[in-house]
Amino acid sequence: MIDNKITIKDDEMVNVQRGAIGHRATWTGLTYTKAREAGMEEAAEKIIRQAITETGQIQGKEIKAKCPNPDSISSFADTFLTPTLRKTFEVEFKEQTDDRLDIEFHHCPLLKAWQDLGFDDATCAKLCDMAMDGDRNIAKAMGYGFHLGDTIAEGCPTCKITFFKEEKED
C-alpha cells in the first residue's frame, strides 16, 4: 500500500512547484497508459525513457555549469536541491559530503498525480522507475554514480537516493 504523505502544505512556492511537477507527471502517465491500452506499452516505455534520459542529461549539464565545484557532491547537492525543491519533495539529508549524498524523499508530487489519476500501484511503480531515469542521467552528466533504493511507489515510507563518486580506473 502506497503512503505518499505530505506534511508541508501551506507554502505557496512549494504548492506551485508541486502543481507543475504533477502536471508533467500527468502527461507522462496518460501517454504511457494510453499507449498501453493501444497495445504499445513496450514502445511507449522505450520512448518515454529516452525522452526522460535526455532531459536528465540536459538538466545535469545545466547544474554542472552552475555548480561552484562540480567535483564536490556536497556542492552539487546545494546547487541541485534548492530550498524550494527540498520542501517540494520533503527531502531529508542523511549524509552530505564531497564524495557522497544520501537523501530521503518523504513526498513525491509525481506519484501524487499518478495516484490522483487512479493508477494502480504497479503502474505507479513503473512510472516512478521511468521518471528516475532523469536523476540517473543528472548523476551521469555530473560524473557521479547513482543508486535508487527504496521508493514510496513500491510501498516504502521514503525514496532513498544516493549520489556518489565512482571509483576511477587507473
Predicted confidence band of residue 167 (pLDDT cuts 50, 70, 90): confident
**pLDDT band at residue 169 under the 50/70/90 scheme:** low
Q: What grid cell was written down for 69?
A: 565545484
- For residue 78, what is its C-alpha cell? 546545494
- Per-residue confidence (pLDDT) for residue 108, from 0 to 100: 97
Give the model confidence (pLDDT) of 56-103 as tens digits: 999 999 999 999 999 999 999 999 999 999 999 999 999 999 999 999
In the chain, the domains with their CATH numbers are 12-164 (3.30.1380)
- The CA-atom distances, in angstroms, between 39 and each of 7, 26, 44, 169 are 39, 20, 10, 44
